[in-house]
Chains A and B, each alone.
Chain A
Amino acid sequence: DIQMTQSPSTLSASVGDRVTITCRASQSMSSWLAWYQKKPEKAPKLLIYKASSLESGVPSRFSGSGSGTEFTLTISSLQPDDFATYYCQQYNSYPNTFGQGTKLEIK
């Protein structure tokens, strides 16, 4: 199984900041990687698919990049609505697996 490791686990930032979250895979994989935003009491929301493709309706301040074993999610200018937990997920092979999550907190 492919293990996904996110860093950092927690990130404190301010509105307007640029932040980057990293996701590392335990083995080299294609670009079948997604990023989700999760807020309490809400269903996960797809942000990025195929490592760098922006899901329809998602603000352009979100971007993804990477290949092989290292992937990143960048938020160019944090907005108040962005404070949430973010998860990467590989769908390169079954069982699909999630990273452990990165909680983005207000500084």
Chain B
Amino acid sequence: EVQLLESGGGLVQPGGSLRLSCAASGFTFNIYAMTWVRQAPGRGLEWVSGIRESGDVTYYADSVKGRFSISRDNSKNTLYLQMNSLRAGDTAIYYCAKDRTSSWYEAMDVWGQGTTVTVSS
């Protein structure tokens, strides 16, 4: 069964850091681009960051550029999101998702259950 399992969320003070992980199973992880998407309380879905298959190409939303860093360890089938200089506006459920195929342009067909990040003093 194809599965994504996020972890690492929690309560952190403004200005703090957190690293999210997304463990993948049931598919060949290293041939799919991966993405982080978040949903703040009462808000819509927000695309956060994406990473290509080999990990050498990354993309970020303007709202997190310079503060967040996406990476992957294909030997461990794991995706990461390092979040620094956290703000109250980063409070959200964070989802990881895989591309539907290994094509460059793709939608996201499998999603994790999400991990909650709360930034508050």
Contact A97 B47 (CB under 8 A): yes
Contact with B along A44-73 (1 / 0, CB 8 A): 111001100001000000000000000000
Contact B107 A43 (CB under 8 A): no
User: Which residues of chain B are within 8 angstroms of A38 by Cβ–Cβ distance?
Assistant: 39, 45
Number of interface residues of B (CB under 8 A): 24
Q: Is A21 on the interface with B (CB-CB < 8 A)? A: no
Contact B113 A43 (CB under 8 A): yes
Contact A101 B44 (CB under 8 A): yes
Contact with B along A1-38 (1 / 0, CB 8 A): 10000000000000000000000000000101010101
The chain B residue sitting closest to A92, CB to CB, is B105
Question: Of residues 46 to 71 in B, which have CB atoms within 8 Å of A's CB atoms?
Answer: 46-47, 50, 59-62
Contact B111 A55 (CB under 8 A): no
A28 CA / B46 CA spacing, docked (Å): 21
A87 CA / B114 CA spacing, docked (Å): 17
Contact with A along B10-38 (1 / 0, CB 8 A): 00000000000000000000000001010
Contact B44 A46 (CB under 8 A): no
The chain A residue sitting closest to B113, CB to CB, is A43
The majority secondary structure among interface residues of chain B is: strand
Contact B62 A98 (CB under 8 A): no
Number of interface residues of A (CB under 8 A): 26
Contact B35 A44 (CB under 8 A): no
A38 CA / B100 CA spacing, docked (Å): 18
User: Which residues of chain B are within 8 angstroms of A32 by Cβ–Cβ distance?
Assistant: 105
Contact B59 A94 (CB under 8 A): yes
Q: A95-B61, A96-B35 are known contacts. Are A87 and B47 too (CB-CB below 8 A)?
A: no
| A42 → B minimal CB distance (Å) | 8
User: Which residues of chain A are within 8 angstroms of B45 by Cβ–Cβ distance?
Assistant: 36, 38, 44, 87, 89, 98, 101
| B103 → A minimal CB distance (Å) | 10
The chain B residue sitting closest to A50, CB to CB, is B107
Q: Chain B interface (Cβ within 8 Å of chain A)? A: 35, 37, 39, 44-47, 50, 59-62, 95, 97, 100, 105-109, 111-114
